[in-house]
Amino acid sequence: MDCPEEILIKIFEFVYYEPYNWVDQRSLAALARTCRRFQNPALDILWSNLSTLKPLFYCLPEGSWTITIGGEIQLTRHSWTPEDWKACLKYTPRIKRLGIDLRWMLSGGHFGDIYSIGPLQALAVQCFDFEAVRDVAEPLCSQSPLLEKLFIRMPMKYLSPNPELSCLLQNMICGHQCLRQLFCTETLLPQEVLRFLSASKIEVLSIRNTAEELLQNLPSTEQGFSSLRRLTVCASHLKYCSELLQRINTRSLQSFEVVHLHLPDSLSIKELFQTLERRCSHALFNSVHLHQPRHSEENYYAPEYGLALSNFRPLFAFKNLEVLEIELFCPFRLDTSDIKLMAPKWPCMRQFKLGYYYKGFGHPSKISVNCLLSFARHWPDLEELSISLGDLWKTSHVQGRPGRGYSCPKVIDLALGDSRVDSQSCYRPLAEFLDDFFPSIDGVIKRREMGSLERHIGPWVYITDIMAELATEREEAELDSDSQP
């Protein structure tokens, strides 16, 4: 067969990545066994992306691994020789993207030398121990000069200063000029790494360090992070986030996320949104997320903590906004007219969350069920919605189709926070009401008090069941109409 290898690779990629992101490994493995001409290009694709090391374990000598009751592969030995890994050498150089779960411990050998993996383009590491990173992950990073993506997940105990770990992280990250994505959300990065990143071409950065720490390690003479597209940081106060956005290059910034946020007041949130409006591209920026951790759970009812329409007005400039998640415990002083004004400003909205559904959205809600029509009319691509509605009982008086032909067909889970349903007589009317707006919904998530099983035995279970019945009836009606001549 004279077909060039480049054409074969394209054909085999179509086989491997079928529609709907289904990965057809068996067909590709069959192609690799068909003939020698197919073997190398098929194996290159088949082994290029491993989310786990388990496929390599099948190549180890008999008796060195076993399959558990749950179907997992468990190693039965803790030391290895180059001879043990000999059968793996046919495949390891083909691996470009690798995920490693080091919560079990490999020992007794030179991991990088034995596996001959790489050079890698992407590496994801989960571990419990410093030694596992030192003996496994660090050598893989060292032998992968073209590493583009790095994900590191370690136990929370490593949030405290650790000189050895700092040195190790510096060796793993610094010097990788091709690094474009870094995720390290459970371990603090040392100052040397922050300085390297601020002067690098990093595009996606998600770290546990605070905005204040990033500020302290920016270049003194120029803007840092020249290519940043997505940024996730922690913050003790939002003023540091606003200062950071003024010090870094934001022309390419598309997403800004603040996690582990404490005591965010209304004024600092408004200033942050104003800074985003001034500094970011109105065409490119599409996602903002403020998140308050559960362990700092508090409800703030003082005026300085309530969020009103004026807080959100600076975001109206971003016509392509897709994600707005304000997961805070403060009250939202918005009403239905505010929602009606907000919805048309962001026609591309996919995720809209106001409040923290785990412990409510503030009392009382002045947003009525009428706001759902605004969502359905202006947000056809909406996928996630979390909001508290104050008058669900009114749905029992609605006649006809409340959505008026509009709907959000992509919404699967709906969070309604403190929304109340006081009477069983409202269950079916409410289910029919919600079904008209959200025909694909799987369930309604309701506020859950500590120690309560409301989510499991409350009215929303019955309402969800009724919605499932309505979906079944609708499907059966469509099948009947299709079968008629």
pLDDT string in tens for the chain (485-residue length) = 577 788 888 888 877 766 544 556 778 888 888 888 888 888 888 888 888 877 887 887 777 777 776 666 666 666 667 777 777 888 888 999 998 876 554 444 444 444 578 789 999 988 777 777 787 788 888 889 999 999 998 876 666 667 888 898 999 999 899 999 999 988 899 999 999 999 999 999 999 999 999 999 998 877 899 999 999 999 989 999 999 999 999 999 999 999 988 778 889 999 999 999 999 999 999 999 999 876 555 555 555 677 899 999 999 999 999 999 998 877 788 889 999 999 999 999 999 998 875 444 545 578 888 889 999 999 999 999 988 887 666 665 556 667 778 999 999 878 887 777 777 888 888 888 888 899 988 878 765 443 343 443 467 788 888 888 888 888 887 777 766 66
Using CB atoms within 10 A of its CB, is residue 6 exposed (0-12), middle (13-18) or buried (19+)?
A: exposed
CA distance 205 to 466: 43
CA distance 328 to 307: 10
Which DSSP string do the residues of 319-366 spell out, in sequence order? Answer: TT--EEEEE-SS-B--BHHHHHHHGGG-TT--EEEES-TTS-S-SS-B
C-beta separation of 371 from 340 below 8 A: yes
**What is the gyration radius of the CA atoms in the chain, in angstroms?**
26
C-beta separation of 207 from 181 below 8 A: no
DSSP strands (E only) in 107-180 = 122-127, 149-153
pTM recorded for the entire structure: 0.86
Angle at 302 between CA 335 and CA 299, to 5 degrees: 80
Q: Taking the CA of residue 252 as centre, how many other CA atoms within 13 Å lie in the half-sphere pointing to its CB?
A: 13
CA distance 388 to 386: 7
Instruction: Spell out the residues 6+ positions from residue 131 whose beta carbon is closer than 8 angstroms to its own.
Output: 105
CA distance 394 to 407: 19
Per DSSP, 90 falls in state G
Cα dist. 415→375, 387, 399, 432 in Å?
14, 6, 24, 17
CA distance 407 to 378: 9
Q: Tell me the longest C-alpha to C-alpha distance in the chain.
A: 76
Residue burial 168-198, b: 16+ Cβ < 10 Å; e: rest:
bbbebbbebeebbbbbbbbbbbbeebbbbbb
